[in-house]
Chain A
Amino acid sequence: MVSKGLIKRNKEATQPKVIENSKTSVVISGRKQSQPLREVLSFINKLREPNNVNWTGQSHNYLPFEEVVEIENLSKHKDASLFFLGSHTKKRPNNLTVGRLFNYEMLDMIEFGVENYTPMKKKGVSNRVESKPCILFKGDAFVNDDNMKMAHNLLLDSLRGKEVKAINLLGLDHVIVCTALSNDTIQFSHYGVEYKPSGQQTPVVELVELGPNFDLKIRRTRFASSELRKKALEVPQELRKGRHHNKNITRDELGNTEARIHVDQQEIKTIAIKKFESLKKRSRDEIDKMNKKAGLDQERLQEKKNFSTTSSSDEPSAKKSKKQ
Chain B
Amino acid sequence: MTSIVVDKVDDLKYDLGNLTALDSHDIDIDLYKKNKDSCIKESATQNFQLLVNKLFQLDSNNEDDGLFAKLPKPNTSIPREKPVPKQPEATEWEKFAKDKNMRLRKKDKLVFDEATQTFNPRSGWKRAKPENDWVIDAKPYETPDPNMDPFLFKKQMKKKDMEKEKGHERRNKGIEKEPPSQIKIANTKKLDARGLQTSMKSDFGSAYDAARLSTASMGKFDKLLKNENRNIKVTGKQQYKPNELASKKRKREDSNTGDSEREASMKVLNRVLKVQAKKKTQIKEASVSLYQRSAERDKRKEKKKHLLGENKSRFKPQNMSKKYEE
- List, in ascending order, chain A residues with CB within 8 A of B77's CB: 233
- List, in ascending order, chain B residues with CB within 8 A of A189's CB: 40, 44
Contacting B22 at CB < 8 Å: which of A134, A142, A203, A207? A142
Binary B-proximity of A135-170 (CB < 8 A = 1, otherwise 0): 111111111000000001100110010011111111
- Inter-subunit contact A135/B18 (CB<8 Å): yes
Whether B156 sits at the interface, judged by CB under 8 Å, is no
Whether B144 sits at the interface, judged by CB under 8 Å, is no
- Inter-subunit contact A136/B20 (CB<8 Å): yes
- Inter-subunit contact A169/B22 (CB<8 Å): no
Whether B24 sits at the interface, judged by CB under 8 Å, is yes
Cα(A187)–Cα(B3), bound, Å: 27
- Inter-subunit contact B41/A81 (CB<8 Å): no
Cα(A168)–Cα(B64), bound, Å: 11
- List, in ascending order, chain A residues with CB within 8 A of B309's CB: none
- Given A179-B40, A272-B100, CB of A202 within 8 Å of CB of B48: no
- Given A152-B22, A207-B45, CB of A16 within 8 Å of CB of B60: no
Cα(A153)–Cα(B41), bound, Å: 23
Whether A128 sits at the interface, judged by CB under 8 Å, is no
- List, in ascending order, chain A residues with CB within 8 A of B36's CB: 187
- List, in ascending order, chain A residues with CB within 8 A of B205's CB: none
CB neighbors of B among A157-197 (8 A): 157, 160, 163-172, 175, 177, 179-181, 187, 189, 191, 193
Smallest beta-carbon distance A238→chain B, Å: 10
Binary A-proximity of B269-286 (CB < 8 A = 1, otherwise 0): 000000000000000000
- Inter-subunit contact B44/A20 (CB<8 Å): no
- Given A202-B56, A204-B3, A234-B84, CB of A191 within 8 Å of CB of B22: no
Whether A206 sits at the interface, judged by CB under 8 Å, is yes
Interface size class of A (residues with CB under 8 A): 35 or more
Binary B-proximity of A209-227 (CB < 8 A = 1, otherwise 0): 1000100000000000000
Whether A107 sits at the interface, judged by CB under 8 Å, is yes
Contacting A136 at CB < 8 Å: which of B2, B37, B47, B66? B47
Task: Please tell me the number of chain B residues within 8 Å of chain A, measured between CB atoms.
Answer: 60
- Given A134-B51, A165-B71, CB of A232 within 8 Å of CB of B79: yes
Cα(A320)–Cα(B251), bound, Å: 87
Smallest beta-carbon distance A129→chain B, Å: 15
Cα(A4)–Cα(B111), bound, Å: 30
- List, in ascending order, chain A residues with CB within 8 A of B80's CB: 20, 102, 232-234
Contacting B84 at CB < 8 Å: which of A157, A172, A236? A236
- Inter-subunit contact B22/A177 (CB<8 Å): no
Of all chain A residues, the one with the shortest Cβ separation from B47 is A136
Of all chain B residues, the one with the shortest Cβ separation from A241 is B73
- Inter-subunit contact B23/A137 (CB<8 Å): yes
- Inter-subunit contact B19/A133 (CB<8 Å): yes
- Inter-subunit contact B67/A168 (CB<8 Å): yes
Whether B27 sits at the interface, judged by CB under 8 Å, is yes
